[in-house]
Structure 1
Amino acid sequence: MQITPLNPEDPSVLGDFELLGRIGHGGMGQVFLGESLGGEPAAVKVIKPSVVDSESRQRFAQEIEILKTVWGARLAAFLGADAEAEQPWLATEYVDGPDLARYVKDHGPLPSVLTAALGAVLAEALSAVHGQGLLHRDLKPANVLLGPNGPKIIDFGLAAFTEASVALTAPHQVVGTPICMAPEQAAGVKPLTAAVDVYALGALLLFASTGHYPHEAVTPYMVFHLVTDPDSRPDLSGAPEDLVPLLTAVLAKSAEDRPSLTDVVRRCRSVIEAHGTKIAQARRKLTAHTARQPFRTVRSGESTTALWPAPVSDVAGTEITPADLDPPVVAEVPEPSPTELDVPAPDTLPTTEVMSRPQPDPPASADGARGGRPAPGRPPAGSRRPSEAMPTLRHSVQARRTAERLRAVYAAKASF
């Protein structure tokens, strides 16, 4: 998951959560990485001040009430909220990993066995949601996070009680994502049934295995037309042969023709077992295939440096702290010769680039928690110790000179 520093106008604290960085944004607001008083990371969603009105507060309050009722091992947990605050916010479990859309874009489609494992996991999770009398209504690759403990479903902002008689949407208003939307949902049919989430799951699995959706077009209106046209058929080109029967069934135009979520789990198991693999093994392989390094923070005085997950090809790094540059507190060891330093030249030092999806031009900052200039004596977030010789070298004059040089190089190459 890509995280960028806070902007100067961003709040630093909401409720009991300290905000450390920006995760993403949408039409209604911004999502921050937060940390509870006990150090628990959280995704904190805040409504934009420009859209805070009575209707948006009502929608937000409804989302909070829905999240309070949703629970499950594959669902991001609700942690807290305040719909009446000046800046309404809610906090959910932070899942440290890319969303499925980003993962497929960066690494390509999943093999059929792993796609089937993903389908079984998500179908079981959705079944639990439906058992609580809820529909997700906006399941899509961007709403599935591939965390270190397996995939989790997020963003129940469009969730609705299946038996609710009153909705906040206008009579003919359709809310959701067209490329993953069931035909009856796109046509505005009410009430919706569990079949809309089955269709969305099918669209998600097709994307996971091929990199494309059932219906794609230049504009959302054209996609709506293709989705609702009874004569159009989903594009299954490129789908693994063993997944075609499952995808054909879950993407059926008629809700009545789609299998139940329990049947989806069974079909996914059949695909997996046909490859000589057990479902539990396939789930573990899925997590191992998509997992990333966990989030962690390093405290130094009053500031917080966030060390975000590094690209898969990068070498795990360690922050160089001011302690590495302080005078030694133990007896000084003999100074090694230059040939013993084993420190790469400045232009070969590794760097960590932090890309910003929501903010193309992130503000200048070397602190993952606050904007502004770097604190004296500390490098930018994500800095890395280039040599295991550093623990010994730190006790010599040459070590301090080397550390100063490293710090200058990292500061010059910092991405923000």
Structure 2
Amino acid sequence: MQITPLSPEDPVSLGDFELLGRIGQGGMGQVFLGESPGGEPAAVKVIKPSVVDSESRQRFAQEIEVLKTIWGPRIAAFLGADAEAEQPWLATEHVDGPDLARHVKSHGPLPSVLTAALGAVLAEALSAVHTQGLLHRDLKPANLLLGPNGPMIIDFGLVAFTESHVSLTAPNQVVGTPICMAPEQAAGVKPLTAAVDVYALGAVLLFAATGHYPHEAATPYMVFHLVTDPGTAPDLSGAPSELVPLLTGMLAQNAEDRPSLTDVVQQCRAVVEAQGMKIAQARRRLTAHTAGQQHEAATADTSPRSTAAPTVAFEDLRTVTAQPAQDAQDAPPLPPSPQVPEPTMVDTPGPTAPTVRDAPEPALPSQASPSEGVQREQPTPGRPPKASRRPKEPTRTLRHSVQARKTAEQLRTAYAALAPF
């Protein structure tokens, strides 16, 4: 994740949180990367001074009270807030990773099996929110962060109580993101039910698998028209055939025709298992896939030769978080190396370079070499090393980045060309 340095007019601290940089901003406020006295990273949301009034403070206070009641393994945790401060703020758990919208824009759609894994994870998380009597109401790719430990749901600012006539919005007021909004929500129907989050999740999964939304148009008003028109079916072009039945049900025009979140989890599991994997394995692959591509992007962005606008990588501000390990099923070991000439390696670290598993702090992305983490060929027992060989290097473990996989494949190809197997 890239963080922009603080501007001169930005606060240096809010409550007990020291502010380290800017994460993003919206129409109502600014989001900073903060750090607690104990070193806990946090996303600190602040209302812009230009929009601070009694009404915005009241809505902000309501959002804080709602966040205090929400919990779950895929929900960014509430860490603190002060709605009465001169600059009202709230802090939640910081997730070091891009949102789904940025990831798909940078790396393309997810494979169907990973989209199904994402659907199972998010449906289970939303089900826990609904059990607490709440709705998200604004689920969209920008509110789904792909962190090193898996996807996380953020921004419950528009949350509403289920089966209730009490709302955080005024009568006849429609709030949300049109491209992921359920027809009844766009039409202003109240009270809303859990089906609005099912529809929004369907729109998110369609975007994850194809890069487009159910309804797209030049203006939000045109999108509203398409969403609420019973005669306009959602655009499922490009969706993998195995996902079409699930997406069709989730994006149904009538709320009662959509599956429950429990059914969504089961259908996602069926898609994963039909491709010969278990759901837990698919979830690990999803995290490894997104974390690996994030690592590559961070390595490129923090290159010393880069001339881009000054940004600060999260890893430059705090210790790098090691990527999660995969089990043996996900990443089979490389085959034994035959006795053939050793192929030329891209990097040339010295004999004292620390191993990945033994290093107390992994190297920053800007210091990582393209082939870091590839298993090196070891001399055959009983065979003296060649005089031209470099000093023996410490054993390295295979990392889960796309570059590491490409390098490993190149090694296999080079060995196979001269080997008897």
Question: What's the TM-score, normalizing by structure 1?
Answer: 0.73
Q: Map Cα deviations across residues 94-130 of structure 1 (whole Å, 9 max, x no partner).
A: 0000000000000000000000000000000000000
Structure possessing the higher relative contact order (Cα contacts under 8 Å, 6 or more residues apart): 1
When residues 230 and 82 of structure 1 are mapped into structure 2, their CA distance, relative to the original with a 3 A threshold, is same
Aligned 8 A contact 2:140 2:180 in 1:
yes
Match of 1:149 in 2: 149
Match of 1:55 in 2: 55
Q: Map Cα deviations across residues 161-185 of structure 1 (whole Å, 9 max, x no partner).
A: 1144332322111000000000000
1:291 Cα deviation after fit: 1.2
When residues 116 and 252 of structure 1 are mapped into structure 2, their CA distance, relative to the original with a 3 A threshold, is same
Provide the C-alpha distance between the structure 2 equivalents of 1:352 and 1:15, rounded to a whole number of angstroms: 36
Match of 2:246 in 1: 246
Aligned 8 A contact 1:139 1:197 in 2:
yes
Aligned 8 A contact 1:21 1:368 in 2:
no
When residues 243 and 26 of structure 1 are mapped into structure 2, their CA distance, relative to the original with a 3 A threshold, is same
Match of 2:122 in 1: 122
Aligned amino acid, residue 6 of structure 1: L
Q: Is 1:13 the counterpart of 2:13 in the alignment? A: yes
When residues 125 and 385 of structure 1 are mapped into structure 2, their CA distance, relative to the original with a 3 A threshold, is closer
Provide the C-alpha distance between the structure 2 equivalents of 1:110 and 1:76, rounded to a whole number of angstroms: 23
1:13 Cα deviation after fit: 0.5
When residues 85 and 228 of structure 1 are mapped into structure 2, their CA distance, relative to the original with a 3 A threshold, is same
Aligned amino acid, residue 311 of structure 1: A
SS at match of 1:268: helix
Match of 2:402 in 1: none
1:246 Cα deviation after fit: 0.3
Find the partner of 1:311 among 284, 297, 305.
Answer: 297
Aligned 8 A contact 2:49 2:87 in 1:
yes
When residues 155 and 354 of structure 1 are mapped into structure 2, their CA distance, relative to the original with a 3 A threshold, is farther
1:286 Cα deviation after fit: 0.1
When residues 292 and 37 of structure 1 are mapped into structure 2, their CA distance, relative to the original with a 3 A threshold, is farther
Provide the C-alpha distance between the structure 2 equivalents of 1:385 and 1:271, rounded to a whole number of angstroms: 40
Match of 1:341 in 2: none
Aligned 8 A contact 2:158 2:168 in 1:
no
When residues 194 and 384 of structure 1 are mapped into structure 2, their CA distance, relative to the original with a 3 A threshold, is closer
1:313 Cα deviation after fit: 5.4
When residues 74 and 354 of structure 1 are mapped into structure 2, their CA distance, relative to the original with a 3 A threshold, is farther
Q: How many residues align?
A: 321
When residues 129 and 223 of structure 1 are mapped into structure 2, their CA distance, relative to the original with a 3 A threshold, is same
1:207-246 → structure 2 map (5 Å cutoff): 207-246=207-246
Aligned 8 A contact 1:183 1:253 in 2:
yes
Q: Map Cα deviations across residues 350-407 of structure 1 (whole Å, 9 max, x no partner).
A: 4484677xxxxx9xxxx979xxxxxxxxxxxx895699xxxxxxxxxxxxxxxxxxxx
1:310 Cα deviation after fit: 6.4
Aligned amino acid, residue 156 of structure 1: F
Aligned 8 A contact 2:299 2:365 in 1:
no
Provide the C-alpha distance between the structure 1 equivalents of 2:276 and 2:293, rounded to a whole number of angstroms: 30
Aligned amino acid, residue 213 of structure 2: Y
Once superposed, what is the RMSD of the aligned Cα atoms? 2.3
When residues 6 and 31 of structure 1 are mapped into structure 2, their CA distance, relative to the original with a 3 A threshold, is same
Provide the C-alpha distance between the structure 2 equivalents of 1:280 and 1:176, rounded to a whole number of angstroms: 32
Provide the C-alpha distance between the structure 2 equivalents of 1:386 and 1:77, rounded to a whole number of angstroms: 32
SS at match of 2:90: strand
SS at match of 1:172: coil
1:20-169 → structure 2 map (5 Å cutoff): 20-169=20-169
Provide the C-alpha distance between the structure 2 equivalents of 1:25 and 1:11, rounded to a whole number of angstroms: 15
Provide the C-alpha distance between the structure 2 equivalents of 1:386 and 1:128, rounded to a whole number of angstroms: 39
Match of 1:270 in 2: 270
Provide the C-alpha distance between the structure 2 equivalents of 1:176 and 1:11, rounded to a whole number of angstroms: 29
Aligned 8 A contact 2:300 2:366 in 1:
no
SS at match of 1:68: helix
Where do 4+ consecutive residues of structure 1 move more than 4 Å? Answer: 352-356, 382-387
Gaps of 5+ in 1: 295-308, 318-348, 357-361, 370-381, 388-416
When residues 74 and 249 of structure 1 are mapped into structure 2, their CA distance, relative to the original with a 3 A threshold, is same
When residues 156 and 73 of structure 1 are mapped into structure 2, their CA distance, relative to the original with a 3 A threshold, is same
Aligned 8 A contact 2:19 2:33 in 1:
yes
Aligned 8 A contact 2:302 2:365 in 1:
no
1:262 Cα deviation after fit: 0.1
Provide the C-alpha distance between the structure 1 equivalents of 2:4 and 2:298, rounded to a whole number of angstroms: 19
Provide the C-alpha distance between the structure 1 equivalents of 2:366 and 2:277, rounded to a whole number of angstroms: 40
Provide the C-alpha distance between the structure 2 equivalents of 1:273 and 1:383, rounded to a whole number of angstroms: 35
> After alignment, is 284-293 or 205-214 more displaced?
284-293
Match of 1:337 in 2: none
Gaps of 5+ in 2: 319-363, 370-421
* Identity level (%): 80
Aligned 8 A contact 1:113 1:272 in 2:
yes
Provide the C-alpha distance between the structure 1 equivalents of 2:211 and 2:117, rounded to a whole number of angstroms: 17
Aligned 8 A contact 1:96 1:292 in 2:
no
Provide the C-alpha distance between the structure 1 equivalents of 2:50 and 2:83, rounded to a whole number of angstroms: 15
1:259-408 → structure 2 map (5 Å cutoff): 259-291=259-291, 311=297, 314=300, 350-351=305-306, 353=308, 384=366
Provide the C-alpha distance between the structure 1 equivalents of 2:32 and 2:281, rounded to a whole number of angstroms: 34
Q: Map Cα deviations across residues 275-308 of structure 1 (whole Å, 9 max, x no partner).
A: 00000000000000001699xxxxxxxxxxxxxx
Q: Map Cα deviations across residues 130-186 of structure 1 (whole Å, 9 max, x no partner).
A: 000000000000000000000000000000111443323221110000000000000
